[in-house]
Structure formats: structure tokens, C-alpha cells
Amino acid sequence: MSEACEVLIVSETVPDYAHPGDAGADLRAAEPAVLAPGERAVVGTGVAIALPDGYAAFVVPRSGLAAKHGITIVNSPGTVDAGYRGEIKVTLLNTDARVPYSVAVGDRIAQLIVMPVTRARFVPVDRLPGSERGEGGFGSTGYAHRTAGAAPAADSDANGAAPTGDAATTGEQR
């Protein structure tokens, strides 16, 4: 892991990294919330930071909450800009179809990953340089393995649209 960068913070509790080597520091709820099945809520964390120039922080879900309770973040990853001085908030979503989820003050609801970011200088051109992938994407390389009966129709994608590109014309296994 690279050297720590200093992040100024205003908060009653400082987000902590649970283990050495963890990428994300846990963000805790500063207010309670109850999410009915399928419902979302914007939950404050009581944390405000000032990132150094050239850095951003990303608000990402906790895998435990996702796997055990179906709790995710609507706009994952939420982007915290270096110039943002407001409270970091988490837009939680309860994806469980039946069970409501309650958030108590102090619950760890998300994690914050601080990263250096590059700003692009966009250069308009008429044609892009060639590449091995070309325009292939959205499943163009197919599936690694499917058991019989579980495979989607070979000639359509998830929306029922016919594929384009080489796989469609060569009959390559998708």
C-alpha cells in the first residue's frame, strides 16, 4: 500500500481502517433510518473532509451488508470531490424484496476509499487508433462456463437483441 495522504476531517468519530492493508475506511451512520424492502434513504455520516488536490474519495458498499441484508448504495461508487466541504452522505438501497432494514446511529454503513485521480485533457479527433478489442464490449467475449440448460439463447443478449460483431457471424460459442 502506498504512503498515507493527509486528509483534514471534521467529525465526532474518525473513519477507521479495520485491518492493516484495507483499502476502505468505515463510514458510520450519524442518524437512524429504516429502509422498507426496495426503499432507499440518504443517510448522513457526520463526516466532512478536505482532500488534497489531485485526490478523490469514493463511497462504496460493504460486502457484508450486501450479502447478508441486500443493502447496497444507489450511486456506487459515490464520488467525493476534493473541493467538497459538506457532510458525506450515503444513499443506501434495500434490495431485499421482503425484509426491512434498520440503521442505528454508529452503524458502519459504507466505506470510503481515497485515491489519487487524473484529470483528462480531452483531445477531439476524427478517428480513434485501432486496438485489439476494437468496439467489442458488453459480453463480446462470452461466458467462461455454463451448465446445460442454464445458458441464455445463443443468438440473443439479455434484452433479446441479436448480437453484433464476429461472434454473430462466425457462430463462435458465446
Ligand X SMILES: O=c1ccn([C@H]2C[C@H](O)[C@@H](COP(=O)(O)OP(=O)(O)OP(=O)(O)O)O2)c(=O)[nH]1
- Cite the annotated binding site for substrate by residue number: 62-64, 75, 79-81
CB of 56 to ligand X, least distance (A): 8
Q: Looking at beta carbons only, is 81 or 166 nearer to ligand X?
A: 81
Q: How far is CA 29 from CA 14, 90, 91, 129, 166, in A?
A: 12, 9, 11, 47, 49
CB of 28 to ligand X, least distance (A): 14
Cell matching residue 68 = 447478508
CB of 116 to ligand X, least distance (A): 16
Q: Looking at beta carbons only, is 16 or 81 nearer to ligand X?
A: 81
Q: Looking at beta carbons only, is 23 or 99 nearer to ligand X?
A: 23
Residues making up the binding site? 62-64, 75, 79-81
CB of 106 to ligand X, least distance (A): 19
Strands (DSSP E) contained in 14-107 are 25-28, 33-35, 40-44, 48-50, 55-60, 71-73, 78-80, 89-94, 101-103
- In the bound state, the residue with its beta carbon closest to ligand X is 78
Q: State the amino acid at position 47 in one-letter form.
A: V
Cell matching residue 150 = 442454464
The number of beta carbons lying within 10 Å of the beta carbon of residue 29 is 20
Count CA atoms within 13 Å of residue 94 on its CB side.
19
Q: Looking at beta carbons only, is 78 or 163 nearer to ligand X?
A: 78
Q: Which residues of the chain form contacts with ligand X (CB under 6 A)?
A: 59, 75, 78-81, 84, 88-89, 91
Q: Looking at beta carbons only, is 28 or 174 nearer to ligand X?
A: 28
Q: Give the integer Cα–Cα distance in Å for 168 and 23.
A: 41
Cell matching residue 97 = 424484496
CB of 103 to ligand X, least distance (A): 15
